[in-house]
Amino acid sequence: MKWFIKLASYLFHPLWMPFFGTVIYFRISPRFLPEPIIKAKLLAIAILTIFIPIVFYFLLKNLRLVESIQLKNVKERRLPMLFFCIILLTVLNFILQNEEFLLLYYFFTGILYTSMLAFLLNIFKFKVSLHMMGIAGLTAFLVCASIIYGTNITYFIAFLLFGIGWTASSRIQAKAHTSIELIIGLVIGALPQLLLLIVKNFVL
């Protein structure tokens, strides 16, 4: 049973969440987009949000600035989080600048705001749960997207809601976070997604 609970920390790692959200967006979006464009966007986002951060992590590890990919120490989270904010700005300004991807643009804008809040909390030595931020943000985005597009993706949302509890159990079992760190991660992950979509008159 312990291995099953521990699996959530890897399955719902925050690095995968932006890419997962992009994949599901293209699956449920009613807009017609040529397949080559979809593949190009997916490849670009995968490279920027997954592969480049992993390379950056190994660079920091070789420089002995981080110990593990879990970034257990508050201090060693700062550079990776700042770097990820720069990555998100790159995605917003060069990959999703077209109005055809407006909902996806807001998804990544929400991720940027969440990341900036987490970085700010980190400066004040509060270790918010990045795992909870990631899965909560993805869940909130898909709830909003399903309402906006009138698409039934209940199975995705139900799995992610289960995943939130699964991930929280995993992080507590690993003694990586306290309950308050998990709750704050949940709130700052979901709230920017919900607020952005409401402010932009998508959901009201």
Q: Indicate the domain borders of the chain.
A: 2-199
**Would the pLDDT of 10 be above 90?**
no
pTM of the model: 0.92
Q: In whole angstroms, give the CA distance from residue 17 to residue 49.
A: 9
Residue 8: per-residue pLDDT: 79
Residue 203: per-residue pLDDT: 45
Two tokens, residue 161: 């809601």
What is the chain's mean pLDDT, rounded?
87
pLDDT tens digits, one per residue of 155-177: 889 999 999 998 888 888 877 78
Question: Which residues make Cβ contacts (< 8 Å) with residue 45, sequence separation at least 6?
Answer: 18, 19, 22, 91, 95
Question: Which residues make Cβ contacts (< 8 Å) with residue 121, sequence separation at least 6?
Answer: 128, 184, 188
- Do you know the residue count of the chain? 204
Question: Which residues make Cβ contacts (< 8 Å) with residue 179, sequence separation at least 6?
Answer: 172
For residue 8, count CB atoms less than 10 angstroms from its CB and return exposed for 0-12, middle for 13-18, buried for 19 or more.
buried
Residue 172: per-residue pLDDT: 83
pLDDT tens digits, one per residue of 57-105: 899 888 887 776 666 777 888 888 999 999 999 999 999 877 778 899 9
Two tokens, residue 155: 């199975």
Residue 75: per-residue pLDDT: 81
Q: How open is the CA angle 33-18-96, to the nearest 5 degrees? A: 45
Residue 69: per-residue pLDDT: 67
Q: Are 12 and 165 in contact (CB under 8 A)?
A: no
Residue 201: per-residue pLDDT: 57
Residue 66: per-residue pLDDT: 76
